[in-house]
């Protein structure tokens, strides 16, 4: 209960911070938005538009109005396209959600088995190879990895599309073909840190007394690993899974641009460049809400994996 | 002569296992860390001596060579405006290294100060600082930096400020934890009993205990800051053209990937080797600074 209360408090703080951050954006956003088609020399028009967006009122009043509207589900209107932010958001959400799910899938598919293998074959050449690979996976910037993959698979081998997107329900095969590379790139960073953490936490657990006891009473190695070692070794790993979500979301910004995917990251990036502040604000709140929920889920998983934490509260 | 004195007499003098020298010795024993350090030194010298090393000024166009491959005149070829790619990449090291260093130094200073303050003052100060840390940590780093840098406007100083405002939180958390670990130890109590002021206790007695983890955090932070800077530059935020920067070069190179892959490869390899070296050095330092792991050659 304390955790939920704490998270709510954080959410309020985050909402205030995003509001301040977005208001810091230089240049009157209305002016910037109107530059293209409205005569700015006419003071009356400028004032009228400012009043329509509520920009003429004091900041705390603006905040109150924005917050109540936001909770009601009215996230404002895009300054550049004039569309409702909520409808833009729902239209683009499936793309990013798909990327996100598949990237997490890649991260687990690569990270978990590799981490376990390198812990079990400790100090072998295989371990050395995996450990080195995970450091590279962590250090390599997503855009550089994407360029390498595009060059190899799209330019030279021509077996992957360099960019583009098709909705899943229109053409499932083409859709998967298109998102294969981007999601792999998004997932490798998380996979690298996952493999590293699993390796070290599993090694630590395997060195403990109860594992020796389990082995001493003649259990098969597989039983020792999955029945006794797996659960305690998962505890630090859960933290990494929770934390990597934020990183995957951040990566979506770059990846969606490079692979021309019409997702939320692309929308956010465009909004940052065009100072479309209702979109930026909504995006920041949604992203932070997402991470907050992930953190909460991490805590709940902790309690499940380690009864001691549950008792302490 | 008994067995005991004999062994005392003939045992060769052990090398010390603590202090700066021992750490350096342990660090130099790891091949990867040595390679990483060599790459870092190389990149820093590229940045410092760019005018001496680069064959051309970074923004001098050669209109007869636009988007040409490697030749004797231009070793890595030329970019879309006919500028020498090698020279631009060498000059690009300046931006990334400066931003990386500045962000790390400022993050360390701000984070150490606020972390010490939070750990020592406790109460409301602690609550305020740590809740702020929690809030900033909620955001994905790149998104936070992008929005902040966009708010502050283009330019190197602003991207440094944006990355620093994100980077300090990890440092603060680390230092605060360290303060809590040593605050109740006898030597701090002794200092308090002798009438040391709070500031003196903070910087003379508690801060030295934070140095080892901070060095590791600095190396990893350098990698993170370079990654953020190049990422932001790749998206077009931060240092503006015509100033050469790796992230921007890579972005332009990406559009010519079909015709001239070297345009992407040159900055990409440098960015990756810089980040990778910092991360590897951080790992090596962590092992070298942890006396339990020292002398074991391999990690764990």
Interface test with A, best of B133, B136, B140 (most A CBs within 10 A): B140
Q: How far apart are CA B169 and CA B113, in angstroms?
A: 11
**Residue in chain A nearest B153 by alpha carbon:** A26
CA distance B158 to chain A (A): 13
Helical ranges in chain A per DSSP H: 2-23, 29-34, 43-52, 59-72, 85-120, 125-139, 142-149, 172-206, 209-216, 221-223, 230-258, 264-274, 277-305, 307-312
- Give me the mean pLDDT over the A233-262 stretch: 80
Residue A313 is predicted with a pLDDT of 44
Question: Please, are residues B101 and B222 in contact by the beta-carbon 8 Å criterion?
Answer: yes
Phi/psi at B61 (5° precision): -80, 150
Per-residue pLDDT at A54: 66
In angstroms, the Cα distances linking B239 to A7, A135, B154, B247 are: 36, 28, 6, 9
What pLDDT is recorded for position A25? Answer: 66
**Residue of B32, B128, B147, B149 to mutate for A, most A C-beta atoms under 10 A:** B147
At B1 the pLDDT is: 44
Residue of B97 and A67 predicted with greater confidence: B97
Of A179, A42, A10, A171, residue with least CA distance to A104 = A179
SS3 string, B180-239, reads HHHCCCHHHHHHHHCCCCHHHHHHHHHHHHHHHHHHHHHHHHHHHHHHHHHHHHHCCCCC
Between A52 and A237, residue with greater pLDDT: A237
On chain B, the residues whose CB falls within 8 A of the CB of A256 are none
Query: What average pLDDT does the segment A33-60 reach?
Result: 65
From B146's Cα to the closest Cα of chain A, the distance in A is 8
Distance CA A248, CA A152 (A): 23
* pLDDT tens for the 300 residues of chain B, in order: 445 454 455 555 555 555 677 777 777 777 788 888 999 999 999 888 888 877 777 777 777 777 777 777 777 777 777 788 888 888 888 888 999 999 999 999 999 999 988 888 888 988 889 888 988 888 888 888 888 888 787 888 889 999 999 999 989 998 988 888 888 788 888 888 888 887 888 888 888 888 888 888 899 899 999 999 999 999 888 888 778 888 888 888 888 888 888 888 888 999 999 999 999 898 888 888 776 554 444 443
pLDDT band at A35 (very low <50, low <70, confident <90, very high): low
Q: Which residue has the higher pLDDT, A50 or A130?
A: A130
Q: What angle do CA B216, B221, B224 make, to 5 degrees?
A: 140
Rg (CA), chain B: 24
| Closest Cα in chain B, distance from residue A32 (Å) | 14
Residues of A in contact with B278 (CB under 8 A): 139
Does position A161 have pLDDT exceeding 50, yes or no? yes
**Inter-chain touch B151–A141, beta carbons under 8 Å:** no
DSSP secondary structure code for residue A253 in this structure = H
End-to-end alpha-carbon separation of chain B, Å? Answer: 41
In the predicted structure, residue A244 carries a pLDDT above the cut 80: no
Neighbour tally for B89: CB within 10 Å: 25
Question: What is the pTM assigned to this prediction?
Answer: 0.83
**CB atoms < 10 A from the CB of A129, how many?**
13
- Residues of A with Cβ-Cβ distance to B135 under 8 angstroms: 10, 13-14, 17
3-state secondary structure (DSSP) of residue B78: strand
> Which chain B residues are Cβ-neighbours of A280 within 8 angstroms?
147
Confidence of residue A60 (pLDDT cuts 50, 70, 90): confident
Range of lowest pLDDT (A23-27, A251-255, B3-7): B3-7
Q: What distance in Å separates the CA atoms of residue A184 and residue A186, rounded to the nearest whole number?
A: 5
Res. A151: pLDDT tops 60: yes
Instruction: Identify the residue with better confidence: B28 or A215.
Output: A215
Give CA A276 to chain center in angstroms.
Answer: 21
What does the pLDDT read at residue B111? 93
Q: Among A28-37, A79-88, B117-126, which stretch is predicted with the lowest mean pLDDT?
A: A28-37
For residue A77, the cross-strand partners are A84
Contact B279, A137 (CB under 8 A): no
């Amino acid at each position: 209960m304390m955790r939920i209360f704490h998270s709510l408090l954080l959410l309020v703080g985050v909402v205030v911070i995003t509001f301040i951050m977005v208001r810091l954006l230089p240049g009157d956003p209305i002016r910037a938005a109107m530059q293209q088609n409205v005569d700015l020399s006419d003071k009356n028009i400028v004032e009228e538009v400012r009043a329509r967006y509520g920009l003429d009122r004091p900041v705390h009043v603006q905040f109150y109005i924005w917050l109540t509207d936001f909770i009601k589900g009215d996230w404002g209107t895009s300054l550049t396209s004039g569309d409702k932010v909520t409808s833009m958001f729902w239209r683009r959400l499936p793309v990013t959600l798909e990327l996100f799910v598949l990237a997490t899938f890649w991260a687990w598919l690569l990270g978990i088995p590799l981490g376990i293998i390198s812990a079990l074959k400790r100090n072998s050449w295989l371990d050395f190879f995996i450990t080195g690979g995970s450091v590279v996976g962590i250090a390599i910037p997503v855009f550089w990895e994407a360029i390498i993959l595009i060059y190899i698979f799209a330019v030279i081998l021509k077996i992957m599309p360099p960019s583009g997107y098709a909705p899943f329900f229109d053409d499932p095969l083409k859709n998967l073909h298109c998102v294969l590379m981007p999601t792999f790139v998004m997932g490798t960073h998380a996979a690298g840190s996952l493999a590293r953490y699993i390796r070290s936490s599993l090694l630590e657990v395997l060195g403990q007394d109860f594992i020796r006891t389990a082995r001493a009473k003649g259990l098969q190695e597989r039983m020792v690993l999955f029945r006794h070692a797996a659960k305690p070794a998962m505890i630090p790993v859960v933290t990494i899974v929770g934390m990597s979500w934020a990183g995957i979301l951040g990566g979506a910004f770059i990846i969606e641009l490079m692979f021309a995917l019409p997702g939320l990251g692309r929308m956010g990036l465009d909004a940052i460049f065009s100072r479309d502040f209702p979109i930026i604000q909504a995006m920041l709140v949604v992203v932070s809400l997402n991470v907050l929920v992930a953190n909460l889920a991490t805590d709940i998983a902790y309690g499940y994996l380690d009864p001691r934490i549950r008792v302490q509260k | 002569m008994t067995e005991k004195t004999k062994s005392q007499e003939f045992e060769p003098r052990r090398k010390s296992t603590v202090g700066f020298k021992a750490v350096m010795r342990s660090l130099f024993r790891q091949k990867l860390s040595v390679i990483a350090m060599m790459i870092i030194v190389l990149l820093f010298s590229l940045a410092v001596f760019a005018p001496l090393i680069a064959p051309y000024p970074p923004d001098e166009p050669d209109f007869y060579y636009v988007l040409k491959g490697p030749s004797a005149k231009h070793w890595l070829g030329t970019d879309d405006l006919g500028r020498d790619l090698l020279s631009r990449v060498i000059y690009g090291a300046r931006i990334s290294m400066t931003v990386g260093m500045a962000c790390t130094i400022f993050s360390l200073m701000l984070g150490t100060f606020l972390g010490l303050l939070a750990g020592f003052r406790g109460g409301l100060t602690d609550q305020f600082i740590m809740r702020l840390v929690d809030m900033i940590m909620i955001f994905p780093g790149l998104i936070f930096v992008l929005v902040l840098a966009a708010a502050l406007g283009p330019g190197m100083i602003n991207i440094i400020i944006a990355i620093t405002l994100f980077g300090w939180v990890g440092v603060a958390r680390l230092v605060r934890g360290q303060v809590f670990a040593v605050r109740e130890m006898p030597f701090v109590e002794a200092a308090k009993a002798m009438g040391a002021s709070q500031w003196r206790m903070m910087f003379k007695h508690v801060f030295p205990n934070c140095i080892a983890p901070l060095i590791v955090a600095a190396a990893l932070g350098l990698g993170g800051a370079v990654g953020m800077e190049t990422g932001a530059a790749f998206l077009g935020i931060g240092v503006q053209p015509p100033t050469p920067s790796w992230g921007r070069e890579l972005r332009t190179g990406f559009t010519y990937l079909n015709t001239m892959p070297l345009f992407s490869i040159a900055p990409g390899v440098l960015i990756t080797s810089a980040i990778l070296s910092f991360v590897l050095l951080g790992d090596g330092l962590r092992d070298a600074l942890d006396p339990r792991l020292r002398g074991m050659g391999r990690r764990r």
